[in-house]
Amino acid sequence: MANTETALKECLSSIEGATAAALVDYTSGMALGTLGGTKDFNLEVAAAGNTDVVRAKLRTMELLGLKEEIEDILITLNSQYHLIRLLKGRGGSGLFLYLVLDGSRSNLAMARHQLRRIEADLEV
């Protein structure tokens, strides 16, 4: 089992093109751990802002009566992918892993696969 710090380090070291990662509580908007980012990319602000994305999608699903679970949410920019993976099980309710990928150096399918594996090993 990996703790938050170990899981975030694994995100950056094992996922090709990963530039930043965070574990976020979407009920409060607080980042429980962050790694990466730059002076031009405030990971704390990005993590908090993405809680609004998660909440909006959950509200919409509820209004539509969808009984599905969100696996992940993908936001594509010109040069980046932002991947939000909602955690399930073992105390992960209300949490998501947030991953920023360099679009020119990453394989989205492999990143999703690796993030799923990291989630399975994460002990919150």
| Angstrom distance (rounded) from CA 41 to CA 44 | 9
Tokens of 72: 């992940």
- Among the listed residues 42, 33, 24, 39, the one whose alpha carbon sits nearest the alpha carbon of residue 85: 24
Please report, as a single letter, which amino acid is at residue 109: A
Q: What is the SS3 assignment for 101?
A: strand
Q: What is the mean pLDDT of the chain?
A: 92
Q: What is the largest CA-CA distance in the chain?
A: 41
Q: Which domains does the chain have, with CATH numbers?
A: 4-121 (3.30.450.30)
Question: Average pLDDT in the 44-62 region?
Answer: 95
Question: Average pLDDT in the 78-107 region?
Answer: 90
Residue 11: the pLDDT is 87
pTM score over 0.95 = no
- Return the sign of the alpha-carbon dihedral for residues 34, 35, 36, 38: positive
Lookup result for tokens 């909440």: 55
Are residues 101 and 58 in contact, defined by beta-carbon separation less than 8 angstroms?
no
| Angstrom distance (rounded) from CA 33 to CA 42 | 13
